[in-house]
Amino acid sequence: MKTVLVTLPVEERHKPKLEAAGPDCEFIYVGLNGATTELVQQADIILGCVPAGMIQASPRLGLLQLYSAGTDPYIVPGVLHENTVLTNATGAYDKAVGEHAFALVLTLQKKLHRYRDAQNAHRWTDFGQVCSLSDCTVVVVGLGNIGLHFARLCKALGATVIGVKRRPGPCPEGVDELCLTDELDSVLPRADVLASFLPGTGATKAMYTSERFAAMKNTAVFINCGRGNAVKTEVLIDALQSGQIAAAGIDVCETEPLPENSPLWEQENLLITPHVSGNFHLPDILEKIVDLSAANLRAYLAGEPLRNVVDFETGYKR
Amino acid sequence: MKTVLVTLPVEERHKPKLEAAGPDCEFIYVGLNGATTELVQQADIILGCVPAGMIQASPRLGLLQLYSAGTDPYIVPGVLHENTVLTNATGAYDKAVGEHAFALVLTLQKKLHRYRDAQNAHRWTDFGQVCSLSDCTVVVVGLGNIGLHFARLCKALGATVIGVKRRPGPCPEGVDELCLTDELDSVLPRADVLASFLPGTGATKAMYTSERFAAMKNTAVFINCGRGNAVKTEVLIDALQSGQIAAAGIDVCETEPLPENSPLWEQENLLITPHVSGNFHLPDILEKIVDLSAANLRAYLAGEPLRNVVDFETGYKR
């Protein structure tokens, strides 16, 4: 009998769905933060995330179905046994993260973060000119499900959308123009908005360099809803303070939680949200992940192909 | 020779366009705040707004072409002579105000105003569940050009849109359902977002009563980008503090500028912008108003029909 450790924040109504997918399994529900090294070591299957350090390349672990789209802590050599299948939750966060990034863009373009500060100071002050997304060119770096959803929202408001992806392919709906990651530098000067949805991999680390910010318009808005290490804290601060770009909105930081004494907090033209764009903050996220977990559990037990299998080399879905 | 007083914030490049429309006129350019009672009394035509008190029902004033969409200070009896034609700038602000209201909705729904406060306090805090506009019913009160533009933005993001207007008519594009102002109460309980774009008239004053807020969902967001006197300050504060609604975003207040000691500033779940959604904050607003002013000046001098003539009884375009 296989043991299934569940750290998904399921409600009672979800359990029959999971248990029907593994009728001969024993299910242990521990909630988001209830995993222990002992429980992880006894698990044949884990549905949800656990601290990577608890896994210790357990040879017993056959399937780790994450509730995150990001896989970075788990693809580090030595974390998972070579026989463990790793699947992520790609597809569950499109709407949540896409809309959050879109809201960051509009907030910054309409200067609502600064009007909030003025409100808190009881000041009736006019911050002048704004721009319209309908007049903007939006560069979307990372055209997975989340980036595509964001692209479609921008397109719906009338923006021109340039998508940036690793591999050539057909231009998806909602994207006006496609460019390869290698050609990113060629489109930076055109971006009124640059929004990044990249996972944390060796190739994406610190990719937004000072030179790249310098190549952007000084009116541009930078958004990061991918991984925080795509831009070094001091590079971002310098880009904002020196006026290389006009504003930035980030849901992710190099160090999370952001330390209380980080100078990032103090940047007026930076809007920070504490890695909340995904989580389980839209009700349909949990539903999608429970459905995916049940389907992958069933497929795994039946020896059939799984969805969202992660390539350890790239960190992306295979 | 007629005298044209121009308070529009024109640039040099706009002047030939205006002067070509009135080749026999004398043009006096004074900028936004440069009008004096003497200049106003000498004007046959005014292009732009001036303080209503300077007009004193001047019988010489034949045309007052406002740069605002709102007309409330000018339709008060005794302000304009009965022979003065009043035209407004309806149509110039659709994109600017519609987008601003739309940005207010997203900011509030994604709790970005509260994350900004947390950022200012250096706090990495998760405020939990958000909602998606794609799952929302948006009630748009006031289906002029601005309300319609806002409606279309919401529709583009997947919302269900209910439009509320004074007179029956065909259901416009971007609106799923139409209801008459008299029937507003019947749709209040369905609103996840209620956005008001009404002008300041006797009929709209204090129309958002405590009873109406009580009829709304306690998860609803209220937006006012029309006139501030549509809701009494104490009613709005009570609706927010008692939890009749979840949040509000207002670009207009009962008293403007909002006094420094107003309790409105302190409402955490209220986002205030200082009547900036229109102004000349998007570049195309001034272009549209200069074009309209030139067209109406030409038509007035030729004795032809004008655009955007205001009905003194209703304050609306006739």
Tell me the nearest-neighbour CA distance from B125 into chain A, angstroms: 7
Residue A313 has a pLDDT of 79
Do A203 and A70 sit in the same domain of this protein? no
* B300: amino acid identity, one letter: Y
Say if the Cβ atoms of A272 and B115 lie within 8 Å.
Answer: yes
Question: Does residue B134 belong to any structural domain of this protein?
Answer: yes
Contact with chain A for residue B221, Cβ under 8 A = no
Give strand pairing partners of A161: A138
Contact with chain B for residue A255, Cβ under 8 A = no
- Asked whether the whole model's pTM tops 0.90, one would answer yes
Say if the Cβ atoms of A282 and B132 lie within 8 Å.
Answer: yes
Structure tokens given for A250: 């980030």
Probe site for chain A from B32, B119, B286 (most A CB atoms < 10 A):
B119
Tally of structural domains, chain B? 2
Write the DSSP string, A65-85: E-SSS--TTTSSTTSS-TT-E
* Spatial separation of the C-alpha atoms in residues B15 and A314, rounded to whole Å: 60
Question: Does residue A196 belong to any structural domain of this protein?
Answer: yes
Q: What is the pLDDT of residues A190-200, one digit of tens each?
A: 999 999 999 88
Residue A232 has φ and ψ, to the nearest 5°, of -70, 140
Active-site residue, selected from the candidate residues B183, B211, B256, B268: B256
Contact A127, B276 (CB under 8 A): yes
Tell which A residues from 157 to 216 touch B, by Cβ distance under 8 Å: 157
Say if the Cβ atoms of B112 and A260 lie within 8 Å.
Answer: no
Collect the ranges in chain A with pLDDT lower than 70. Answer: none
Do A87 and A183 sit in the same domain of this protein? no
Please count the CA atoms within 13 angstroms of the CA of B27 that sit on its side-chain side: 22
Dihedral of CA atoms A164, A167, A170, A174 in degrees, nearest 10, equals -30
- Say which of A99, A113, A256 has its CB closest to residue B116: A113
Contact with chain A for residue B274, Cβ under 8 A = yes
Say if the Cβ atoms of B124 and A256 lie within 8 Å.
Answer: yes
Probe site for chain B from A129, A132, A275, A287 (most B CB atoms < 10 A):
A132
Chain A residues whose CB is inside 8 A of the B276 CB are 115, 126-127
Q: Report the CATH number that the domain containing residue A64 is assigned in CATH.
A: 3.40.50.720
Ranges of beta strands (E only) in chain B are 3-6, 26-29, 45-47, 63-65, 85-87, 137-141, 160-165, 177-180, 193-196, 221-224, 247-250, 270-272
Give strand pairing partners of A248: A222, A270
Q: What is the pLDDT of residues B51-81, one digit of tens each?
A: 999 999 999 999 999 999 989 899 999 999 9
Residue B313 has a pLDDT of 79
A/B interface, count of CB pairs below 8 Å: 131
Do B152 and B223 sit in the same domain of this protein? yes
Instruction: Say if strands A85-87 and A63-65 run parallel, antiparallel, or are unpaired.
Output: parallel
Do B121 and B78 sit in the same domain of this protein? no
Question: Does residue A298 belong to any structural domain of this protein?
Answer: yes
Q: What is the pLDDT of residues A73-89, one digit of tens each?
A: 999 999 999 999 999 99
Residue length, chain B? 318
* A52: amino acid identity, one letter: A
Cα→Cα distances B53→B45, B48, B84, B91, B253, Å? 16, 15, 15, 26, 21
* B154: amino acid identity, one letter: C
Is B266 catalytic? The answer is no
Residue A21 has a pLDDT of 98
Q: What is the largest CA-CA distance in chain A?
A: 67
Contact with chain B for residue A108, Cβ under 8 A = no
* Spatial separation of the C-alpha atoms in residues B249 and B221, rounded to whole Å: 8
Chain A residues whose CB is inside 8 A of the B268 CB are none
Say if the Cβ atoms of A276 and B120 lie within 8 Å.
Answer: no
**ipTM for the complex shown:** 0.94
Distance between the two ends of chain A, CA-based, in angstroms? Answer: 29
Tell me the nearest-neighbour CA distance from A194 into chain B, angstroms: 18
Do B88 and B98 sit in the same domain of this protein? no
- Token pair 């050609």 in the structure block, residue: A183
Question: Does residue B69 belong to any structural domain of this protein?
Answer: yes
Say if the Cβ atoms of B112 and A273 lie within 8 Å.
Answer: yes
Calculate the CA B100 to chain-centre distance.
Answer: 11
Is B227 catalytic? The answer is yes
Contact B232, B206 (CB under 8 A): yes
Do B99 and B34 sit in the same domain of this protein? no
Question: Does residue A317 belong to any structural domain of this protein?
Answer: no
Chain A residues whose CB is inside 8 A of the B263 CB are none
Q: Which of B234, B253, B272 is the last residue of a domain?
A: B272
Do B140 and B150 sit in the same domain of this protein? yes
Most confident of A184-193, B277-286, B304-313: A184-193
Residue B200 has a pLDDT of 85
Question: Does residue B71 belong to any structural domain of this protein?
Answer: yes
SS3 B32: coil
Question: Does residue B29 belong to any structural domain of this protein?
Answer: yes
Say if the Cβ atoms of A120 and B265 lie within 8 Å.
Answer: yes
Contact with chain B for residue A287, Cβ under 8 A = no
Do B105 and B244 sit in the same domain of this protein? yes
Contact B157, B133 (CB under 8 A): yes
Tell me the nearest-neighbour CA distance from B94 into chain A, angstroms: 12
Residue B202 has a pLDDT of 85
**Which residues lie closer than 8 Å to A173 by C-beta, 6 or more apart?**
A152
Contact A284, A95 (CB under 8 A): yes
Do B203 and B287 sit in the same domain of this protein? no
Say if the Cβ atoms of B116 and A153 lie within 8 Å.
Answer: no
Q: What is the pLDDT of residues B254-275, one digit of tens each?
A: 999 999 999 999 999 999 999 9
pLDDT class of B238 with cuts at 50, 70, 90: very high
Contact B42, B83 (CB under 8 A): no
Contact B137, B105 (CB under 8 A): no
Cα→Cα distances A160→A135, A154, A177, A220, A235, Å? 8, 8, 8, 14, 27
Residue B279 has a pLDDT of 87
Question: Which residue does chain A place closest to B262, by CA atoms?
Answer: A122
Residue A316 has a pLDDT of 75
Question: Does residue A313 belong to any structural domain of this protein?
Answer: no
Chain B residues whose CB is inside 8 A of the A123 CB are 260
Do A259 and A296 sit in the same domain of this protein? no
Helical (H) or strand (E) element with B291: helix B283-301
Quick one: which of A231, A281, A221, A269 has its CA closest to A253? A231
Residue B314 has pLDDT above 80, yes or no: no
* Spatial separation of the C-alpha atoms in residues B148 and B182, rounded to whole Å: 19
Do A241 and A121 sit in the same domain of this protein? yes
Look up the domain containing B34 and give its range. Answer: 3-92+281-301
Cα→Cα distances B243→A131, A313, B179, Å? 34, 51, 26
Probe site for chain A from B109, B111, B122, B131 (most A CB atoms < 10 A):
B122
Calculate the CA B290 to chain-centre distance.
Answer: 19
Question: Within 10 Å of residue B160's Cβ, how many Cβ atoms?
Answer: 17
Q: Is the dihedral of CA B141, B145, B146, B152 positive or negative?
A: positive
Return left, alpha or beta for A135; rule: phi > 0 is left, psi -120 to 50 is alpha, else beta.
alpha
Q: Enumerate the active-site residues of A.
A: 227, 256, 275
Do A256 and A114 sit in the same domain of this protein? yes
* Spatial separation of the C-alpha atoms in residues A83 and B200, rounded to whole Å: 70
How many helices (H) does chain B have, and how many strands (E)? 9, 12
* Spatial separation of the C-alpha atoms in residues A98 and A101, rounded to whole Å: 5
Say if the Cβ atoms of A271 and B126 lie within 8 Å.
Answer: no
Instruction: Say if strands B26-29 and B45-47 run parallel, antiparallel, or are unpaired.
Output: unpaired
Chain B residues whose CB is inside 8 A of the A106 CB are 99, 102-103, 106-107
Residue B306 has a pLDDT of 98
* Spatial separation of the C-alpha atoms in residues A181 and A226, rounded to whole Å: 15
Residue B7 has pLDDT above 90, yes or no: yes
* Spatial separation of the C-alpha atoms in residues A248 and A223, rounded to whole Å: 6
Whole-angstrom Cα Rg for chain B: 21
Say if the Cβ atoms of B282 and A131 lie within 8 Å.
Answer: yes
Contact with chain B for residue A274, Cβ under 8 A = yes
pLDDT class of B42 with cuts at 50, 70, 90: very high
Residue B115 has a pLDDT of 98
Question: Which residue does chain A place closest to B277, by CA atoms?
Answer: A110
